[in-house]
Amino acid sequence: MGTQLALTHAGCDGDVEAAVVHELQQVDAQLSTWRPDSEVARFNASAAGEWFPVSAPVAAVTVEALALSRRSGGAFDLTVAPLVQLWGFGPQAPVGESVPGVEAIAVAMQRVGWQQLEARLDPPALRKRFDGLSLDFSAIGKGHGVDRVAMRLDGLGCHSYLVDIGGEVRTRGGNSTGQPWRIGVEQPDGGPPQWVLRLSGQSAATSGDYRNFRLLDGRRLSHTIDPRAGEPVSHALASVTVVAASAAEADGLATAIQVLGPDAGWRFVHREGVAALLLVRSESGFERRYTESMSQFLQP
């Protein structure tokens, strides 16, 4: 996944390291777009029209992603892969050193559309409705990996843990003092955390425009692509932090809200009852907005 794992646990019975490494190797073999033998890479290279057999976890996370696409009006979209590649954030080297033109964006957009993807759980399989449709799980894959690690820890009888993969976290129990886990919310300007999440049994994820970006033709391009517009997001929403039951849900929701932006995203979190903290750029710094359901987890 191109990131780091941090794991704190207590009460486990068995070889935690071996179990976690094995689980993450399975996740990589299933969801990676950087290895040509992964399930997703092979699906991306497959022809349209026929059901493509996949493992049960791949089918399940795809079903979850499609549900989020419907909820967000397409702001979250697994089929965004052609646009990710076009803007230089895909597994291959950047295709150019200048901003893609209108025609190139239009061509890539013809290969994007979550409505053209189907998933079933029994037997687990995916199907694309046209050739060239390809998937990118970057916006939900880390959260899914966190959940998979947590599942293995549950199976080992761990009574307390904090799993962190690249900032996406899942918790159970509490820390060594018996208190909820304390997780700092990163400041987009690199300053010290101004907010702390207190979690016990919940998951959290943050999506922002400040970590992964490219500079092209004098423009600062976020890695977060709006699949509806075909371009990187360019609004004032700097970051979104979401608390949810699973890390995959938090990861996907944070991405969807980041795409929607400060206004549509704010309406979405209220409509959907999402526990969210939005940091919006303003002339005086960052405006902080959080939902009532988020306030129970926040400690200034």
Report which residue type is found at 3.
T
In the chain, the percentage of residues whose pLDDT exceeds 70 is 92
Query: Which one is predicted more confidently, 58 or 284?
Result: 58
Residues 158-182: tens digit of each pLDDT = 999 999 999 999 999 999 999 999 9
Work out the average pLDDT over 230-253: 94
Q: Could you tell me the residue ranges of all domains in the chain?
A: 5-138, 170-299
- pTM comes to 0.93
Tokens of residue 30, six digits: 């299933």
> Is it the case that residue 118 has pLDDT exceeding 90?
yes
Domains 5-138 and 170-299 share a fold: yes
Element of type H or E holding 276: strand 275-282
What contacts 235, CB < 8 A, 6 or more positions away?
A: 261, 262
* Range with the poorest average pLDDT among 33-47, 91-105, 194-208: 91-105
What's the CATH fold of domain 5-138?
Answer: T-fold (3.10.520)
**What pLDDT score does 96 carry?**
57
Domain 170-299 has CATH 3.10.520.10: yes
Q: For residues 168 and 247, what is the distance between their CA atoms, to the nearest angstrom?
A: 7
Q: For residues 149 and 213, what is the distance between their CA atoms, to the nearest angstrom?
A: 28
Element of type H or E holding 184: strand 181-185
